[in-house]
Amino acid sequence: MCGIVGYLGQRDCTEVLMDGLEKLEYRGYDSAGIAVFEGRDIKTVKTRGKLTAMKEKLEREGRPQGHCGIGHTRWATHGEPSDANSHPHSNGRVTIVHNGIIENYAELKQFLTEQGYTFLSQTDSEVVACLLDYYYSERNPLHAITETLKELRGSYALGIIFKDFPERVYAARCGSPLIVGVGQGESFIASDIPAFLKYTKDYVLLEDNEIVRLDTEGVMFFDVHGIQISKERRIAEWDVEQAQKCGYPHYMLKEIHEQPGVVQKTLDSLTKDGIPDFTDIGLTDDMLRGFNKVFITACGTAMYAGIVAKYAIEKLARVPVAVEIASEFRYMDPIVGENDLVIVVSQSGETADTKAALELAKERGAKTLAVVNVKYSAIARLADICINTLAGLEIAVASTKAYSVQIASLYLLAFRFAYAREAIDADELKRLTAQLAKTPEVIQNIIDRCDECQFIASQLVNTETLFFIGRGFDYALSLEGSLKLKEISYIHSEAYAAGELKHGTISLIEQNIPVITIATQSHIIEKTISNMEEVKARGAFVIAICRKGTTFADGTVDLKLELDFGELNDMLVPLPTVCALQLIAYYSSILRGNDPDKPRNLAKSVTTE
């Protein structure tokens, strides 16, 4: 959600900022802009639209020439997408970029208006620029920032330049991610590491209520009181190649193809001697035996990974599991406390609602476990225990490989949970782990059948509504398949438990409406086939995704994708099967002329409510 970059060094600042903003496009945006010092003057160029529109405007109006500046890609919250509402915003002697939401902007705006400030936009962000200028009376940037932060309520990541200091960039954060890159004779701020990865792999995480100053002498950090503090420098584990398409037409397709490798890597990191082992992260069998209930809370794709985990943990360990949408969990006053385990799942580790749910769980005394893909993210550092998935850098907005490593990790957790509670013995623990270890090969076999997935997509390209149905693990998988399809193809898609058809949903079935049925669970296949026959009898165009060798009565199925899972346990088949659903979604998006990497209105990391 939005992207911030800032630079100070000897390179062409405009080039660095624009390159950084391109690397942050996956976060979602509807306008863009930069502000660069030209001598002692600040030149701002901004526009509604994509970075292509920004580049055209730079060509028309001239590229700012300088070595210090800030840039932004905005996703509209307060105020429609427009040139005026685009960032950066300037007022008086201050220019800023802002991610997040200022919740008390209305009262601040009223106060500042009474002090003689005028506003040129509809955004909440502009009040920050005005407030900084108001407190800049002593011409002390750090004083202005600390006083301003005292006034702000909400979430923010700020990049700030002051007209009187043409070789400085300031930044601060609270609730929205911001990272400082440290190079040789140059420094950066950014919402995410890819923005400066081509220049340096050294970075520092800015914590809530911390401030950083970039100047010609390097970087300095301060607390909210303006007192200088020291910070740990880290080295990014990602490389530049991971941030490139490497010959693939889209990041999403590249990331789908990376799944066998990242699943294998994640499984290897969490197993020893052929069984799951979480002792290195501080999760012991004694702890697992002591939990009365498990809550899993997350958003979107991560929540659907949680539903797969719920079924697996309950099936194997016989402990109750509740899966809650993170944005609901934080407001529903959940009955959670000591002796409960709260698992939070997030690719970015910065998801605002998930982080708030984690904070609530900790306040109530529950043990917290994070499953995240960014090692030093806010959620990873806040949780009591953290499973670090190893998907690597995921750039496409629609999550693919992150989902796969999440459920791979959670399967291992379910196995160990069951063993700790003596619901399975050591031999069964090894057998299940060995079966899971075979999934990378099965995933690769499914990815190799992308032509068949593309053909299914070609049959969906002209539809505007379709349905997914399934039972048990297939229902959990249907939820993710439906989400993936709708978010990048823009086809209206809903997933339903197949047994619920008679309770209302079947009234929506019309002639030739596609119904994608996931039918991989052997013990309930006959029930699922009955549901397929129900929708077929009402004119549906039925697509079956099933185990190799599954048979259907003549006329029940219009299209069939048979997947070879070998001897894989039914419980584990969602892991390879999801790859077929990802490919169907990808090709549906392509055939409808969309960009699957950057679906409209969506952001990779949602860091505001």
The catalytic residue positions are 2, 604
For 263-397, list the strands marked E by DSSP.
271-272, 275-276, 293-298, 321-325, 340-346, 367-372, 385-388
Bridge partners of residue 387, in order along the sequence? 371
From residue 413, alpha-carbon distances to 212, 264, 369 in Å are 39, 16, 11
With residue 37 as reference, give the H or E element that holds it. strand 31-38
Non-local CB neighbours of 579 within 8 Å, separated by 6+ positions? 256, 259, 400, 404, 443, 446, 447
**87 near 45, Cβ under 8 Å?**
no
- And the tokens for 507? 């009234």
Query: What is the rounded CA–CA span in Å between residue 574 and residue 565?
Result: 10
User: What is the CB neighbour count within 10 angstroms for residue 285?
Assistant: 15
8 Å CB contact between 6 and 159? yes
Beta-bridge partner residues of 543: 516, 559
Task: Provide the greatest CA pair distance for the chain.
Answer: 83
DSSP strand pairing (367-372 vs 465-470): unpaired
For residues 87 and 521, what is the distance between their CA atoms, to the nearest angstrom? 51
Tokens linked to 94: 């201050």
Question: Is residue 93 classed as helix, strand or coil in its secondary structure?
Answer: coil
d(CA 34, CA 88): 6
Give the whole-angstrom CA distance, residue 87 versus residue 160. Answer: 12
The gap from C-alpha 415 to its chain's centroid, in whole angstroms, comes to 26
Burial of 526: CB neighbours in 10 Å, binned 0-12, 13-18, 19+ = exposed
Q: Retrieve residue 460's tokens.
A: 């969906």
